[in-house]
Amino acid sequence: MGESRERPGARVRGVRGSQHAAAGAPGAAARRLAEALGIHALAGGLKVEDFDYMHSLIYADEMARSGSIGPSGSLTTGFAFGVPPILKFGDEKLQERFLPDLLTGKKRCCIAITEPDAGSDVANITTTAVKAPCGKYYMVNGAKKWQVIFSFVSYSRSLSSRPQRNPNHIAGSQTVSGQTTPPWPCGRAPPDSGAAGLSLLIVPLKGHKGVSMRRLKVGGQVSGGTTYIELDNVPVRVENLVGVEGMGMRYVMTNFNHERLSVAVAVTRQARVALSAAFEYVMKREAFGKPLMDQPVVRHRLAKAGGLLESQWAWVEQFAYQMSQMPADDADRELGGMTGLLKAQAGIVLHECANTAVLLFGGNGYTRSGQGELVEMIYREVPGARIPGGSEDVLLDLAVRQLVKLYKAKTKALEAKAEL
Ligand SMILES: Cc1cc2nc3c(=O)[nH]c(=O)nc-3n(C[C@H](O)[C@H](O)[C@H](O)COP(=O)(O)OP(=O)(O)OC[C@H]3O[C@@H](n4cnc5c(N)ncnc54)[C@H](O)[C@@H]3O)c2cc1C
């Protein structure tokens, strides 16, 4: 009874105990936190501890059934990609301060890596976090672009980096994705630290001093609330650092695997919605005295796009299953590059399916109202699948580079074994 009257943060503290000993087991940490907050079961009565990547797949898939990933993006993107680094890498105090409000939806967050001049090239971000002379705050300066979500965001986790020539830079990180650098004494210019200088910092956004946000209108995902964030001398408590200074790049890369799998699931569902709508339409639409479905060319188009779609979905399911069965470290090592390929391929499949659907809807597929409005909207959202979370070209390349790395490492291990 006494425990039930404690504040959530205190209860979290009480149950966590050896949480940090369970490094690499964020699922266990999340479970303890959820229990401490009184969250014992999820929708459908699913026990929190039973939730795995297959459930995550079902969730992302169901959320995308409308055909747009804007609504699901606005509801879950910030949490899904912003909370895990706190769970995995944040210290106990940080988790106590932020997770109760985030896990219960009282506050929201986003992940802010991309900047106006650095997207694919994460190591090149220039946002800085400089320790104030008092040692209590980082002063954060920079801009973040395309963050989902705009008006709801309470916190942003970002990576900040330091420009070389600023003599006052010390260490900085915001919690969104961005780069941070190890601390440097005030008045000394840091070396060009690149990826090694990136850190993650939780930056309060809404109503916070020095923060301004404005909505960016992108081609689709209207409800996603894509945002431009300006940070002008924003004071952020040093305790808001996630994990260790200089480790931001690693944290962000780990985070990308989950993000890319989620995107692949949702995007593959979008492709199915588009193709199903086209299937239904050509069954009833008549031209030249018969339904369009009776035209061999129409069936051929549907078959080609459908084959891509079904094989992509089978791969997505296989992937989620592998992720739920493999230990996290093994999955990161073995599947990191392939997750990028899965996400890139999902965009390619969506492109093909949306294209086919628009064509088969004819003029209706190019009209923002009426029978074809859904496929018209999905077609506009194709770039929103191919670019965010790692652009297609970048991910295709990453996948093969990772395979080369694995190939070399495994060959070396086999050779070493053979010599024994
Ligand atoms: C709707 C939307 C939502 C987003 N949400 C978020 C968010 O929540 N948080 C966040 O931090 N960011 C977000 N982003 C940013 C997104 O992750 C970046 O736009 C993306 O990583 C690409 O970066 P860029 O736009 O700077 O393109 P650039 O890096 O300038 O690249 C442009 C193009 O050049 C090519 N290219 C670049 N580098 C290479 C390479 N090494 N090899 C081959 N080709 C290459 C690719 O074709 C690429 O598309 C979002 C973007 C959009 C559009």
Which residue is associated with the tokens 């993107």? Answer: 77
Strand partners, 147: 227
> Which residue type sits at 314?
A
Q: How many CB atoms lie within 10 A of CB 256?
A: 23
CA distance 396 to 301: 25
Asked whether the beta carbons of 112 and 122 are under 8 A apart, the reply is no
Distance 389 CA to ligand 1 centre (A): 7
Strand partners, 115: 118
Longest dimension (CA), the chain: 81
> 411: which 2 tokens?
């060959």
State if residue 221 touches ligand 1 by the CB under 6 angstroms criterion.
yes
CA 63 to chain CA centroid, Å, is 15
Among protein residues, the one with the nearest Cα to ligand 1's atom 29 is 120
Which residue is associated with the tokens 């190890």? Answer: 182
DSSP 75: I
pLDDT in tens, 253-278: 888 888 999 999 999 999 999 999 99
Q: Which atom belonging to ligand 1 lies closest to the Cα atom of 390? A: 21
Among protein residues, the one with the nearest Cα to ligand 1's atom 46 is 393
State if residue 179 touches ligand 1 by the CB under 6 angstroms criterion.
no
Asked whether the beta carbons of 179 and 157 are under 8 A apart, the reply is no
pLDDT in tens, 302-313: 999 999 999 999
Among protein residues, the one with the nearest Cα to ligand 1's atom 24 is 119
Q: Could you give the C-alpha distances from 329 to 26, 160, 254, in angstroms and in order?
A: 12, 26, 10
Asked whether the beta carbons of 352 and 308 are under 8 A apart, the reply is yes
Distance 390 CA to ligand 1 centre (A): 6
Strand partners, 142: 231
- Burial class of residue 18 (count of CB atoms within 10 Å of its CB; 0-12, 13-18, 19+): exposed
pLDDT > 70: percent of the chain: 82
pLDDT in tens, 133-175: 999 999 999 999 988 764 445 676 666 654 333 322 222 233 4
Taking residues 210-220, report their average pLDDT: 92
CA distance 213 to 229: 5
Asked whether the beta carbons of 317 and 57 are under 8 A apart, the reply is yes
Which of 120, 221, 253, 382 has the most ligand 1 atoms within 8 A of CB, as the residue to mutate?
Answer: 120
CA 286 to chain CA centroid, Å, is 43
* Domains detected in the chain: 1-49 (no CATH), 109-245 (2.40.110.10), 250-419 (1.20.140.10)
pLDDT in tens, 324-365: 999 988 998 899 999 999 999 999 999 999 999 999 999 999
pLDDT, averaged across the chain: 84
Phi, psi at residue 123, to the nearest 5°? Answer: -65, -15
Residue 25: pLDDT above 70?
no
- pLDDT score for 159: 65
Q: 112 — alpha (psi -120 to 50), left (phi > 0) or beta?
A: beta
Asked whether the beta carbons of 155 and 203 are under 8 A apart, the reply is yes
Reduced to 3 states (helix: H, G, I; strand: E, B; else coil), residue 259 is helix
Q: Is the pTM of this model over 0.85?
A: yes
pLDDT in tens, 41-74: 888 899 888 889 999 999 999 999 999 988 888 8
State if residue 141 touches ligand 1 by the CB under 6 angstroms criterion.
no
State if residue 394 touches ligand 1 by the CB under 6 angstroms criterion.
yes
Residue 183: pLDDT above 70?
no
Residue 22: pLDDT above 70?
no
